[in-house]
Structure 1
Amino acid sequence: MTRVLVVTSSILGDHGQSLGLARHFQRLAEQRGEIELTIRDVVADDLPHLNIAELSSWQVAEEERTSEQRELAAVSDALIAEVRAHDVVVLAVPMYNFGIPSQLKAWFDRILHAGKTFRYTENGPLGLVEGKRAILLAARGGKYAGTAMDTQTPHITQLLGMIGITELDTVYAEGLNMGDEIKEAALNEAHNQIEALVAAL
């Protein structure tokens, strides 16, 4: 049994193209019968931006935390435990102003936790989350992949690599706001790539 965590981050609800890619992945995975899925919608979760109170709670020994600090620290701990419990992390990501949604950044801010998912060494950071792979399902109104304007993919690659997830497959659905013909072709190609990835799980 392969355990897959699907993280969605569209603010457009049912109209989000990245959510549509995630749901296509989900339907195919459920048909397989050998895949256990967990869906986390970081928009519905409404994680706040990381602040000093929450960050500081991580630095206090567990037995010395106040009740408020325990509650704050538990957020990161739960999200990290969820990632560790799965074999594959699927990120369904729209592009907003060349970056990732702030809600997804808030999720990453709690996943990248020094001492738990990475540690600093003389040779630089060392990821502590081992044996995982990731799949990026990227939906974009324009065409950016492979150009200097795609700052999103390197950012996600670096964030995942920081915790030790270096195997990343990417599926791009681009040009979705460039006319119906381009949109249909892009979604069909993305669906085909998703089908191949699910079949290989």
Structure 2
Amino acid sequence: MTILKIDSSITGESSISRQLTAAIVDQLLRQRPDARLVKRDLAASPLSHLTERGQDEHVLEEFLGADVVVIGAPMYNFSVPSQLKAWIDRIAVAGKTFRYGENGPEGLAGGKRVIVAISRGGFYDADNAFEHVESYLKIMFNFIGVEPEFIHADGVNYGPEQREAGIARGLAEVERLAA
């Protein structure tokens, strides 16, 4: 089994999404100690934005070769970080992860597990007009044939107590994920 860990937060060691992705990967490695772990830090080594010149094939192959993908997705200005968007642009490739058929688009990347750790400063549910992290990632991964799972740490900018409560809720979700 290969686990691909994608971190996109720019806040380094203080990142809540990184704390959650680390906990998820630890949980997965406890279940499968023989798993191969591949790490990609999109803040430390950002991908260039998509151009007409072509794809970074190694990024796509890394994704396609993973059985489990763990993604840290902090909310920046109501959406995903631009570095995460650049990564998604590299994996959403016609003929590789989706195709257009007689009945419209068809995902080709099914059969893998995608777990997304979301950290948000406020409180957002799926019906909130300002929430464009989970909604966007759900659409994108569904489009390529994957049903993502989500872990949440919400309200982390409401003060120290709420930050700790949000982290605790996220880590509890990680524990339930393994059950």
Shift of 1:34: 4.7
Alignment of 1:42-121 (within 5 A): 42-54=42-54, 73=55, 75=56, 77-121=57-101
Partner of 1:20 in structure 2? 19
Matched, 1:174 2:173: no
* Shift, 1:19, TM fit: 1.1
Tell me the equivalent position of 1:157: 138
The DSSP-based 3-state class of the residue aligned with 2:3 is strand
Q: Give distance in 2, aligned partners of 1:93 and 1:195.
A: 19
Gaps of 5+ in 2: none
Query: Identity of paired residues, percent?
Result: 40
Separation in structure 2 between the aligned mates of residue 143 and residue 28 of structure 1, nearest angstrom = 26
Count, aligned residues = 177
Asked if structure 1 preserves the Cα contact closer than 8 Å seen for 2:25 and 2:70, the reply is: no
Q: CA deviation at 1:26?
A: 2.9
Distance 1:53 1:80 in 2: 15
In the alignment, does 2:119 pair up with 1:139? yes
Between structure 1 and structure 2, the one with the greater Rg is: 1
Q: Which has the higher helix share?
A: 1
Q: Which residue of 2 aligns with 1:36?
A: 36
Contact 1:145 1:172 in 2 (8 A): no
What's the offset of the Cα at 1:103?
A: 0.5
CA distance in 2, matches of 1:43, 1:113: 22
Aligned-partner Cα distance in 2 for 1:134–1:124: 23
Q: Give the alignment's TM-score, normalised by structure 1.
A: 0.81
Give the distance between the partners of 2:44 and 2:51, measured in 1 at CA: 20
- Tell me if the contact between 2:155 and 2:162 (Cα under 8 Å) persists in the aligned partners: yes
Instruction: Give the match's secondary structure for 1:44.
Output: coil
